[in-house]
Structure 1
C-alpha cells in the first residue's frame, strides 16, 4: 500500500498511521532505524568528481553503528523553501517510518533575498517552512531534530571569528523551544571549533587546496563554506555528539581522534541530484 504525504499528515499517534499500514506492520518491525537528512550543500553527499569535497551528512555513518542507515537527501543550493517546493520533503515523508529521525538543517540559502525561489524571512516564512518538516515527521511518528546551520570560515584581520548567518539560527532556536523539538546548535558548536583552530588550521577542514593538489581542482580552491573530508568528519562528530536522540551513536568512534579521511566514500554521482 502506498502511503501518501496526505496520509502521513493526517495520521495521529493514536493509531491512524498504524491502521493505514495494516498488514505491513510485521515489515515495519524489521525496519532498520534510519536517519534522514534534509539540508543544503554543507551536508550533501558528493561524488568522485568532487573529491575531496564532502558534506557532514556524508560523514554521519562514521559515528553510527552499522545497523543504522543514513539517507542523506541534502541538496546543494537548497533552502527550507526550495527543498520543500521541489518535492524533496515529500520524498522523505514517503519513506520515513515510525522511530526514524529527521535532521533538518537550513539557513545558508534562506537568506538570499535576491532569489525568491529560496528566500525566507527569518522570523516568518523560515519557521513556517520548518514547521512542515516537523509536522510531517511527527505525523509519521518519526522524530525531527532541528540543526542550526554550520558556521562558515569567517575571520577578521586579527584572526577573530565572526558569525555570518544573521537571525536564522536564533529563529530556529526559538522554533525549537516553541514546538518542543530537540535542537543541535551546530552554529554555536562549529563557531567555537573554528575559533579554537584559528584561520590557518581551519583551512584543513574547509575546501582549501593548492594548485595541483587535487586533479578535481587543478587550479586550487579557497572555499570558506564547504568542507573537505576532514572537516566533514569533524562536523559530523559535532552533530552526533550533540544529538542523543540520534539512534545507534558509536561512542567509541566519537572519542577516536584522528579519523582518517579514507573512511569516507564518494559515489559515482551525487545521490541527491541523480
Structure 2
C-alpha cells in the first residue's frame, strides 16, 4: 500500500515541526485555536537536521508523517545531549515554559548518558539517569501534560557472524524500571529497533543508517559509515516504531502507519532548529 503524495503533504504540513528555540509556528499563534502538541526531548538520533545535513535525519523529524494534521510537533531534540546536559543547558525549561495541558512530551535519552567520562553529560543508570529523567516527568505532570518515556534506539551493531547485539548497557532497563515505578507510559524503542535491525541484517540496515558511498551525496563527498544516526528512510521507519507503539500519542494516523512512506516526504530546514 502506497500513500498518495497529496496525503503525505497534508500529514507533513499538518503536523509541521514547531519550535521552542527561536522558531514560531501557527501552533503557537495567539489569534487561532492552539493545536495539541507533541514535544520531543532527546539527542541526535531524534533531532531535526538542516539542508547541509541531507540525507541525515532524526526520528523526531519524521514524526509528523504519522500524525494527523491537527497535531503539531515541537522537536527540541539536541545533538550530543544527555538527560543531564539537556536539562542543565535549560532546554527542559524551554519545553516546560511552552508545554500546555493535554500536550505530550516524548523523553528519549541514553546514548550520551553512557559517556560517563564526560562530567557534563554522563549519568549512572540506576541513580542520576533516573533522577534527571524524573525532572522531565515531574515538570510535564505539573503542567498537566502527558510524559512518555522512550528507551534509546539501538545502534547498528553486528558480530562478524551477522548477529545483532545490544549496546546501551543498563540504561534501557533503568528507564523501564522508572516507568513502572512512576506509572509512566513507555515506548521500548531499544527492543523494537533491535528486533528490526536483526530482521534486516547487516547489509539492509545500511539503507536505514547514514551509510553512503563516496560521491553519493554532495554533503558527504567522501562517503560516510555511521552506525548511530539515520538517513531519511531509517528516520521514517524508527518514527513508525515510536508512533505505532505509542498508544497515548495523540492524533496517530493509522492509515499512514500501514503505508509505505517515501523518503522525500521529509523536509530539511535551512538551519538545525534546536541549535538556532
User: Normalising by structure 1, what TM-score?
Assistant: 0.89
Partner of 2:248: 245
Equivalent of residue 39 in structure 2, options 36, 39, 45: 36
* Shift of residue 28, structure 1, vs aligned partner: 11
Listed as ranges, the matches of 1:187-266 within 5 Å are: 187-257=190-260, 259-266=261-268
In the aligned structure 2, how far is the partner of 1:29 from the partner of 1:147? 31
Listed as ranges, the matches of 1:48-197 within 5 Å are: 48-197=51-200
In the aligned structure 2, how far is the partner of 1:49 from the partner of 1:272? 15
Equivalent of residue 46 in structure 1, options 45, 49, 63: 49
* Shift of residue 65, structure 1, vs aligned partner: 0.5
Partner of 2:6: none
1:103 partner SS: strand
Larger Rg: 1
Partner of 1:271: 273
Distance 1:225-1:135 versus aligned 2 partners, 3 A rule: same
- Cα deviation code 1:70-102 (max 9, x no counterpart): 000000000000000000000000000000000
RMSD of the alignment, in Å?
1.1
2:153 partner SS: coil
Listed as ranges, the matches of 1:10-29 within 5 Å are: none
1:110 partner SS: coil
Distance 1:29-1:269 versus aligned 2 partners, 3 A rule: closer
In the aligned structure 2, how far is the partner of 1:185 from the partner of 1:40? 16
2:39 partner SS: strand
In the aligned structure 1, how far is the partner of 2:64 from the partner of 2:114? 30
* Shift of residue 31, structure 1, vs aligned partner: 2.2
User: Normalising by structure 2, what TM-score?
Assistant: 0.88
Is there any run of 5+ residues in structure 2 with no aligned partner, and where? 1-29
Is there any run of 5+ residues in structure 1 with no aligned partner, and where? 1-26
- Cα deviation code 1:7-43 (max 9, x no counterpart): xxxxxxxxxxxxxxxxxxxx79932010000000000
The number of equivalent residue pairs is: 247
Distance 1:269-1:248 versus aligned 2 partners, 3 A rule: same
Partner of 1:5: none
Partner of 1:10: none
